[in-house]
């Protein structure tokens, strides 16, 4: 069962790319505080966070590409539920 992501068990969950954007925004806010202090100790932390931000941006792009694939393969409604299967396949598995 997923705790954050949308799934059969968690229909009110979020899309991966949305969670990654929230995380990225939090890191940016924290970086702004670190940069404002101008302390030598925070320089490495800021540099690490900048690298993490770049990786998160790549992850967001990948997650969006996956969502696009799901939409093309299974339709908007199923993709919005995070379900990577056709609705008729779910009914067959339940039987």
Residue 22, in any domain of the structure: yes
Is 28 within the bounds of a domain?
A: yes
Q: Supply the range of the domain harboring residue 56.
A: 16-94
Query: What is the mean predicted confidence (pLDDT) over 27-48?
Result: 87
Determine, yes or no, domain membership for 1. Answer: no
Task: Decide if 5 is inside a domain.
Answer: no
Q: How many domains does the chain have?
A: 1
Contact between 78 and 86 (Cβ < 8 Å):
yes
Does the pLDDT value for residue 90 go beyond 80?
no
Helices (H), the chain: 16-37, 40-74, 76-80, 87-94
Does the residue 9 lie in any domain?
no
Q: What is the pLDDT of residues 1-36, one digit of tens each?
A: 789 998 888 888 999 999 999 999 999 999 988 888
Question: Is residue 7, in this structure, part of any structural domain at all?
Answer: no
- Higher pLDDT: 78 or 85? It is 78
For residue 87, what is the DSSP state? H
Whether 50 maps to a domain, the answer reads yes
Whole-structure pTM value? 0.77
Each residue of 4-27: b (16+ CB within 10 Å) or e? Answer: eebeeeeeebbbbbbebbeebeee
Per-residue DSSP letter, 4: S
């Amino acid at each position: 069962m997923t705790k954050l992501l949308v799934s059969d068990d968690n229909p009110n969950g979020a899309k991966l790319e949305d969670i990654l954007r929230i995380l990225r925004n939090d890191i940016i806010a924290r970086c702004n505080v670190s940069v404002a202090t101008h302390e030598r100790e925070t320089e490495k932390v800021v540099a690490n966070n900048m690298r993490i931000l770049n990786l998160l941006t790549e992850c967001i792009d990948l997650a969006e590409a996956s969502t696009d694939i799901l939409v093309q393969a299974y339709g908007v409604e199923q993709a919005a539920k995070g379900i990577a299967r056709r609705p008729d396949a779910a009914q067959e598995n339940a039987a």
